[in-house]
Structure 1
Amino acid sequence: MTIRKWFHLFWTTLALGAATTLIVGVLMLLTDKSFSVFGWSGFGFNLFNMMLVGLLIGAFSQMGFFAYLTVNYIALSVFRKAYLWNALQAYTTIFALGFLGYILYGAREDLGNVVFWALPLGLAAVSWAVGAWKSRITNNHAFIPTLFLMVVVTAIEAWPSFQPGDDGSVSTSAILFMMAPLVVCNAYQILLLHRITGSRKAVDAPEAKTA
């Protein structure tokens, strides 16, 4: 990966995070009055703040992405056999989805009786679609690592949004506001990775290490 390619990935991820955050933020403003800090009189200021938050989320997503690439590289060296690392990733992904549902179930009085199962299922569906597409454009070994990134890494990155706010409640709007750009940014990065590295075996290159 050259500096030029990394810089392209960096600024496009930031831009994508800002754009997604703006779209989700406007929808939140239209549907959730409590989401607006300064009301409609400060609509422009709200949009500016959302753009800044989106840039930060894009940068945060990229930090998590490169952290996963580092962990993936180390794990392949430790486990030696790629299928062992993939099996651990698959188990962790399933556990993370169940744990996410459990956390949301505990906050169902704030979130409602739909979010605690709809959010994990929605995340799983989107992650499955991204994993299937990644496998199609690269190879079948990319499916599990992509699922792990989209579910586990995204959930870890979005963890602050699951914490109670100043009023002691968990907000659905806050969760969606943070998770949506993270999902989009993580999907964008993993789908673009093989083009940047010039290889169709990007995060899942076990053959080169275990052959």
Structure 2
Amino acid sequence: MTTRKWVHLFFKTLFLGAIAAIITSFFVKSDSYTMFLDPFNAWELFGALIWFMGIGFLFSVVSQTGFFAYLFINQFGLSIFRNFWRPVQVILLAFVLFDLIYFPYQNAGSDASVIPYALTALVILGYGLVVAYVKAKETNQSAFLPAVFFMVVVTVIEWVPVLRTNQTDWMWLMIVPLLVCNTYQLLQLHRIVKTEEQQPGKAINRKQSKQKVTKAK
């Protein structure tokens, strides 16, 4: 990936994270806006939007850090575990989903129900399966499991700091930008790589190289 492509991906993802955070804040932090509407205070309302935009930027950076970390971890896992890397990903996926249900449920107290936590894990898994299906359809079937692993395991790991607070509004405010940013990065990576491989200049250079090799023979 060239520097220009990376910078474009970075700022596009940053923008999407900010938009996702602002839209989510209208639903989970509505009190932050209503207090400035009656009476109407344009400056304070603008300040609230800037605040949630900054939060979106922060969550977007977390998402991008996790994405590039995963690219390294995936290559490292392939080199270490080789053919066993896929079973290892399945085991880690199951372990993370179990933790996503068990530990928040234990921290919630004896009166809490396990159903909301199980539904949360199922929704994230279901969303990851849908994104992975799109990824595999646009590339190849071998990309399905790594895509599910990234969308579920990496997203949950990125989500951990807010999960520890057990504050529902902030949990929603972080998970939505994370899912949006992770989805965009995952589905854009192969398009960027494919575009670079199909650049006319590179194709001409490869053709000229082949001609030179043929003449040399």
Same fold (TM over 0.5): yes
- How many residue pairs get matched? 188
User: 1:43: how far off?
Assistant: 3.1
Residue 88 (structure 2) aligns with: 88
How do residues 176-191 of structure 1 correspond to structure 2 at under 5 angstroms? 176-191=172-187
User: 1:9: how far off?
Assistant: 0.7
Contact 2:25 2:173 (C-alpha < 8 Å) held by counterparts:
yes
**Structure 1: any 5+ residue segments left out of the alignment?**
165-169, 200-211
Letter in 2 for 1:174: W
Letter in 1 for 2:135: K
User: 1:75: how far off?
Assistant: 1.4
Residue 121 (structure 2) aligns with: 120
Note closer, same or farther for the CA distance 1:198–1:117 as it changes in structure 2 (3 Å cut): same
How do residues 149-168 of structure 1 correspond to structure 2 at under 5 angstroms? 149-164=150-165
**Structure 2: any 5+ residue segments left out of the alignment?**
196-217
Residue 191 (structure 2) aligns with: 195
How far apart, CA to CA, are the structure 1 residues paired with 2:189 and 2:142?
A: 14
TM-score by length of 1: 0.82
Contact 2:21 2:177 (C-alpha < 8 Å) held by counterparts:
yes
TM-score by length of 2: 0.80
Q: Where is the helix percentage greater, Structure 1 or Structure 2?
A: 2
Structure of higher CA gyration radius: 2
Contact 1:108 1:115 (C-alpha < 8 Å) held by counterparts:
no
How far apart, CA to CA, are the structure 1 residues paired with 2:9 and 2:111?
A: 35
Question: 1:140-194 CA deviation, whole Å, 9 max, x = no partner?
Answer: 1111101111111101111111123xxxxx2111111111110111111111111
How far apart, CA to CA, are the structure 1 residues paired with 2:175 and 2:111?
A: 15
How do residues 1-211 of structure 1 correspond to structure 2 at under 5 angstroms? 1-30=1-30, 33=31, 36=32, 39-40=35-36, 42-81=44-83, 84-108=84-108, 113=113, 114-164=115-165, 170-198=166-194
Alignment RMSD (CA, Å)? 2.2
